[in-house]
Amino acid sequence: MRRDMDLMRLVVLKVEEDHQGPNHLVEYEDFNHQMVIEGFTPDQVEYHLKLAMQSRLFDMPGNAGWLYIFQGLTPAGHDFADSVRDEKIWKMTKEGALKAGGLTFELLGQLAKGLIKQQLEKHTGVAL
C-alpha cells in the first residue's frame, strides 16, 4: 500500500479532534465504525494510523494489544497538525511537493512550516 499524505494529514487531525483532554484516552478498534474517513477504506486508514504512530506523532500509554489507544498527540504531532491544518497552506504544501517530485513526511511538515512562516512575515512585517 502506498502512503497517502492527504490521509496522513486527516488521521492526525482526527486523533487531535477526538482527544478531549489530559485524562481522556482515544481508542480505536473497529475501522469500519471508528476513525472512518470518507473516501478511504478501513485498511487504508489503519495503515496510515500505524505510519503516524511509527512517526511518533501520538502519545501512547504503552502496549495496548489489539487496540489503538492514545493519550493525544506528541509535541511533534501537534507541530505537524498545526502546520497542515489550514487548507490553503496544505494545498500549497502539496503543490510544492509535487513540483519537487515528492518529499518525505518530515520534509513535508517542514515545507508547511516554511509556508506558515512566510505568511506570518507577510502579515506582521516581522522577519522570522
pLDDT tens column, 45-101: 999 999 999 999 999 887 666 789 999 999 999 999 998 998 988 888 888 888 877
Same-domain check for residues 66 and 103:
no
Q: Residue 64: what pLDDT?
A: 66
Is residue 16 predicted with pLDDT exceeding 70? yes
Total domains in the chain come to: 2
Q: Residue 63: what pLDDT?
A: 64
Residue 38 belongs to a domain: yes
Query: Cell numbers at residue 11, please?
Result: 488521521
Q: Across residues 105-126, what is the average pLDDT?
A: 82
pLDDT tens column, 28-48: 988 999 899 999 999 999 999
Q: Residue 108: what pLDDT?
A: 78
Q: Residue 117: what pLDDT?
A: 84
* Residue numbers of the domain that contains 66: 5-74
Residue 108 belongs to a domain: yes
Cβ pair 16, 81 in contact under 8 A: yes
Same-domain check for residues 52 and 92:
no
Contacts 24+ apart (CB under 8 A), 105-112: 105/3, 105/5, 105/8, 105/51, 105/55, 108/5, 108/84, 109/79, 109/80, 109/83, 109/84, 112/83, 112/84
> Rounded to whole angstroms, how far apart are CA atoms 67 and 70?
10
Same-domain check for residues 14 and 55:
yes
Residue 81 belongs to a domain: no
Higher-confidence position of 19 and 120: 19
Q: Residue 18: what pLDDT?
A: 93
Name the one residue in this structure whose C-alpha cell is 498545526: 82
Cβ pair 118, 86 in contact under 8 A: no
Same-domain check for residues 9 and 44:
yes
